[in-house]
Structure 1
């Protein structure tokens, strides 16, 4: 593709679609085709492997922060978080995570200033994955990182804090809304039926919350200025792919794989790593789909399909950065 100097600002056009749904069906199909093509061009499997490395370094510090925050609501909330993790991921991966949560619960002895320092360090460590995802998102969008470090540094921490808060609120909501459903059921005469209904209805709510968190990450990470959407097409695609891939991988491990024979006592760790890699592929495919939808919008405005950037940049790189882009 020919290189063009990145510029801030939108390309003038006679028509500008209001959103990703304001494009013809043919543009959606073309976006899907381009997403499949860019999967190989952008080496998403390799990028997912890199993200998996940062995920390993980040997931346990993130669990430490979550256990500390959720634990303030009592052991019931932590147990609910553990149960939901066990149901959402393959058995071996869930076993590794729940064991880590139990260990972290037993080691929470720090208090006061030292406890806050420990949480701050854990939060910073957890933000390493977000920083890697920011860089990867720019590759997916074919744009340079024009934001200076004094912007990206607080941004990575801010995104991490928001995601941790959202996960905490989701866990607490699932924990205590069960009691609220029981109270409401008793009030209107439904009794335990209300709890049964909520036990079913909470899963679509959890699914929406996961899509929302992924959509937030997609919006905040790249150096691309776009309108925020509660659920983006890419986040919906990523979560659906993640659920299907996780279920398929769990079935494969349970029925066909021989990780235990090959890796012995390390089998659980290897299964967890492979599952993280598959999860990151799903997340990157969703971001790629969002990027190609944006390209389709730009093309409908009259921008040539091979011209870049096709999105407005949050920050434009300096002349030297721009001249060396792609080298």
Structure 2
């Protein structure tokens, strides 16, 4: 058992099961400790004047500021770049598999049109046509069963690689050593198995969110047919609001699940919900802002030619990964601020 001294008094944070903070990580987080100490001193001064600054004297804005600073200290920019690069190898096989499955439906035309509308709403304007082309090609050239299975396997392996890269960022957020999953080859295998298990489990709420966004318009039209006269506008607005809130909530649920089980410690659901909500909101705003920038200011096709669409997709994936990592940093900062004892997950029994 090891304990790391906190900059405030004798408060300490304990990490069990050999997950000590190594010297390199301790030196890299020294500026964050100084910033945290300065903010808490400022909070105590303000609290003495009658202001309520919340738990431990830090406002939420101060904690978010510390989370961003810790993200910089933990080199989240590099980790987000690696995650975006890994996602490229997973997203296209997954899209090909999904598009081929859509063609097996009896009436795939309306489904493909709704998917195209969804892509235009969620993705940047320069990226959506690339995915729509995948849907058209899959409809015109059906694939064999072997090709579909191969695409599914490649997409799962790629998704596990994306989660493995994110898990490295989560490890740094909680200041854990590289052997926090276990010593030697056992820790490497345990981490890889965990990343593979997270892929199908996280797909359940993600599928719910996708169905609400993709087919929500058709659901609303069906609901309008049975609505009483005069309730059309109000019912449509309410149902559409519930639809988007439900899809964003499902996305936050995916992130909360990943935050809880993608680290060798076991934070409670209450500890991971703030970071998941923050990451979801930040991702939504950053996607809208980036799409507006690409549409009105940037012209990647003029600079990169035919590679412009791929560059836009890579930048969008980078922003997505960065928001996920910043959400993990916020969860870790809230855990440190609350002086929580982070308990490790039970180690697997090796016979």
Q: Per the shorter chain, which TM-score range?
A: 0.7 to 0.9
The CA distance in 2 between the partners of 1:230 and 1:202, in whole Å, is 26
Per the alignment, in what secondary structure is the counterpart of residue 312 of structure 1?
A: coil
Partner of residue 277, structure 1: 318
- 8 Å contact kept, 1:215–1:235: yes
- 8 Å contact kept, 1:7–1:316: no
Quick check: which has more Rg, 1 or 2? 2
Per the alignment, in what secondary structure is the counterpart of residue 88 of structure 2?
A: helix
Structure 1 residues 276 and 177: CA distance shift in structure 2, 3 A: closer
Partner of residue 137, structure 2: 103
Structure 1 residues 6 and 236: CA distance shift in structure 2, 3 A: closer
Describe the superposition over 1:183-215 as per-residue Cα deviations: whole angstroms up to 9, x where unpaired: 554445258654564334312221111111121
Aligned length: 295
Per the alignment, in what secondary structure is the counterpart of residue 35 of structure 1?
A: helix
Q: CA deviation at 1:49?
A: 0.9
Counterparts in 2 of 1:289-308, with a 5 A limit?
289-298=330-339
Counterparts in 2 of 1:220-235, with a 5 A limit?
220-229=261-270, 232-235=273-276
* Residue 59 (structure 1) aligned with residue 91 (structure 2): yes
Q: CA deviation at 1:217?
A: 1.6
Partner of residue 263, structure 1: 304
* Residue 137 (structure 1) aligned with residue 170 (structure 2): yes
- 8 Å contact kept, 1:67–1:104: yes
* Residue 198 (structure 1) aligned with residue 236 (structure 2): no
* Residue 208 (structure 1) aligned with residue 241 (structure 2): no
Partner of residue 16, structure 2: 7
Partner of residue 146, structure 1: 181
- The farther-off stretch of 130-139 and 145-154 is 145-154
Q: CA deviation at 1:257?
A: 2.2
Q: CA deviation at 1:129?
A: 0.7
- 8 Å contact kept, 1:185–1:195: yes
Structure 1 residues 107 and 257: CA distance shift in structure 2, 3 A: same
Q: CA deviation at 1:291?
A: 0.9
- The farther-off stretch of 120-129 and 264-273 is 120-129
Unaligned runs of 5+ in 1: 11-21, 302-309, 318-327
- 8 Å contact kept, 1:8–1:315: no
Structure 1 residues 105 and 271: CA distance shift in structure 2, 3 A: same
Alignment match of 1:169 (pick from 192, 203, 208) = 208
The CA distance in 2 between the partners of 1:230 and 1:195, in whole Å, is 35
Unaligned runs of 5+ in 2: 6-12, 20-53
Larger RCO of the pair (alpha carbons < 8 Å, separation 6+): 1
Describe the superposition over 1:134-164 as per-residue Cα deviations: whole angstroms up to 9, x where unpaired: 2221112111332434433332122111233
**C-alpha RMSD of matched pairs (Å):** 3.4
Partner of residue 311, structure 1: 342
Q: CA deviation at 1:6?
A: 5.0
Alignment match of 2:259 (pick from 206, 218, 230) = 218
Per the alignment, in what secondary structure is the counterpart of residue 263 of structure 2?
A: coil
The CA distance in 2 between the partners of 1:182 and 1:230, in whole Å, is 39
The CA distance in 1 between the partners of 2:236 and 2:347, in whole Å, is 53
What is the TM-score with the length of structure 2 in the denominator? 0.71
Alignment match of 2:70 (pick from 15, 38, 41) = 38
What is the TM-score with the length of structure 1 in the denominator? 0.76
